[in-house]
Structure 1
Amino acid sequence: MEQVKGNLMLLLTALIWGSAFVAQSVGMDYVGPFTFNAARNLLATGVLVPVVLAFGGKSQGSLWQRLKPDGVTLKGGLCCGLIMGIASNLQQVGLSMTTAGKAGFVTALYIILVPILGRFLGRTVRKILLLCVPMSLVGFYLLCVKGDFTVSFGDFLVFCCAVFFALHILFVDHFLRKGASGVRVAWIQFAMTCLLSALGALVWERVPAGGLGSALWGARWSLLYTSVLSSGVAYTLQIIGQKYTEPTTATLIMSLESVFAVLSGWLFLGEVMDFREIVGCVLVFVAVLLAQL
């Protein structure tokens, strides 16, 4: 019964994360990608405070004493936040140039990139990846490469985002092995991503004609969905769900995020893929599943 409960929690997590691509896309009707990410991660930092208090392991002392990270956690949060800030902004800018469905599947390539990049850290690469890598490349080709053998700049940015998300997972794993607090690392990295996004907005974006406050208010539902549900609720569900689910099964369930991204894009944004792109999605998804077996 507990395993079923855990699986349902992780399935809901994948649904929230997949549909968040739609919210991210809609939010940029009102504000630029860097401004959206800055506001989203500022809210997410606040939303994660009760998660840290609930799962951070400190039940005594003042609020700051219960939130305060140790040295390893602080270093981990800052390093992971730097990488996450680059990845999430690449994804957000890419989303302004491509569809939510495509972005979901291209981002999912990080699952295959993790063991490949891990090879440079001395980790063993399993033989199944010899099948997964070419399969995912063919899928990416069908999904993103046009008739004139070009890849749109938006798709390219999302692919770069997948590379940085893969690096992010390796860095998180590295610091957790050193004893860092997982929920505090997440909390710090959201704050770090907010800072990087705000700097990007100052450099590359202009204040909207009607004022920043008015624009953010227009994007409020997208911001609330991505910060409260995608960051706060889904992250908590992942923590609880993984307690009852074997790691490989957990990853397989959460990889459905890419499928939910396509379905949400079709349902809410009217995005439609042609046969070639659907075949590309299927190949990427099968490669991602095989990589976990």
Structure 2
Amino acid sequence: MRSIILLNFITIVYASDIPVIKEVEAIMDPAAFSAVRFVMSAIPFLPFVFRSRDDVQTRNAGMELGFWISLGYLLEALGLLTSDAGRASFISLFTVIVVPLLDGMLGAIIPTRTWFGVLMSALGVAMLECSGSPPNVGDLLNFLSAIFFGIHMLRTEHISRSTKKENFLAILGYELSKFCT
């Protein structure tokens, strides 16, 4: 029961991300907001970064993941300047489509039910995107953001397979530190 409650709480927090960013952008510079947001997130992980500063593999993995996630968040913030928060939220769901598509292109065997889910997700996103106001540059930036988030998820999966558990927090620290730069 505790895990279900936690999953629902995390879902609510995740779902509120884009509307909160959209509201904050109305009163604060997006770059300043992102800097504050991720500097505050990186602080707890700095001891792990310092402890693993001589581990080149951990540093490189964290920096790579930080690069992909930085592109995703940067394009999301820029996209929200001209895109509606609701539409941006739906476009961000494209990440769910990107992950199996890229994984399949890289040689993974994707089950048929996953491809069915990809097709249904693509149709749903297309129907939502094609209704209401016409597409704009912000929608394109949010779409590209979803692609970079998908790349980040795939790379995180691949990197985590070859990383010792004690290095996970250091990788996260490098990732957040990269975003702050």
Superposed pair shares fold, TM > 0.5: yes
Shift of 1:118: 0.6
In the alignment, what sits opposite 1:28? 25
TM-score for the superposition, normalised by structure 1 = 0.55
Select which of 144, 160, 170 maps to 1:160.
144
In the alignment, what sits opposite 1:189? 175
1:1-293 matches, cutoff 5 A: 4-46=1-43, 48-49=44-45, 64-65=50-51, 68=53, 70-145=55-130, 151-179=135-163, 181-195=167-181
Question: What code does the residue aligned with 2:90 have?
Answer: F
TM-score for the superposition, normalised by structure 2 = 0.86
Shift of 1:183: 2.3
Shift of 1:78: 0.3
2:79 and 2:151 map into 1 onto residues whose CA distance is 18
Judge conservation of contact 1:38–1:194 (CA < 8 Å) in 2. Answer: yes
Structure 1, unaligned runs of 5 or more:
57-62, 196-293
Question: What code does the residue aligned with 1:188 have?
Answer: Y
1:174 and 1:130 map into 2 onto residues whose CA distance is 21
In the alignment, what sits opposite 1:225? none
Residues 136 and 64 of structure 1, relative CA distance in 2, 3 Å threshold: closer
Question: What code does the residue aligned with 2:74 have?
Answer: N
1:123 and 1:69 map into 2 onto residues whose CA distance is 33
1:35 and 1:116 map into 2 onto residues whose CA distance is 34
Shift of 1:96: 1.8
Structure 2, unaligned runs of 5 or more:
none
Shift of 1:122: 1.3
Question: What code does the residue aligned with 1:71 have?
Answer: V
2:31 and 2:109 map into 1 onto residues whose CA distance is 37
1:19 and 1:168 map into 2 onto residues whose CA distance is 21
Deviations 1:239-262 (A, max 9, x none): xxxxxxxxxxxxxxxxxxxxxxxx
Judge conservation of contact 1:102–1:143 (CA < 8 Å) in 2. Answer: yes
Deviations 1:139-187 (A, max 9, x none): 2222122579x52211221111111111001111121111152222222
Shift of 1:74: 0.8
1:131 and 1:117 map into 2 onto residues whose CA distance is 16
Judge conservation of contact 2:94–2:122 (CA < 8 Å) in 1. Answer: no
Shift of 1:138: 2.3
Deviations 1:109-152 (A, max 9, x none): 2122111101122101211233223322322222122579x522
CA RMSD of aligned residues (A): 2.4
Structure number with greater Rg is 1
Question: What code does the residue aligned with 1:9 have?
Answer: L
Judge conservation of contact 2:93–2:125 (CA < 8 Å) in 1. Answer: no
Shift of 1:80: 0.5
Residues 6 and 69 of structure 1, relative CA distance in 2, 3 Å threshold: farther
Deviations 1:73-100 (A, max 9, x none): 2111100001110001111111222222
> Secondary structure in 1 aligned to 2:112?
coil
Equivalent residues, number: 179
Judge conservation of contact 2:97–2:122 (CA < 8 Å) in 1. Answer: no
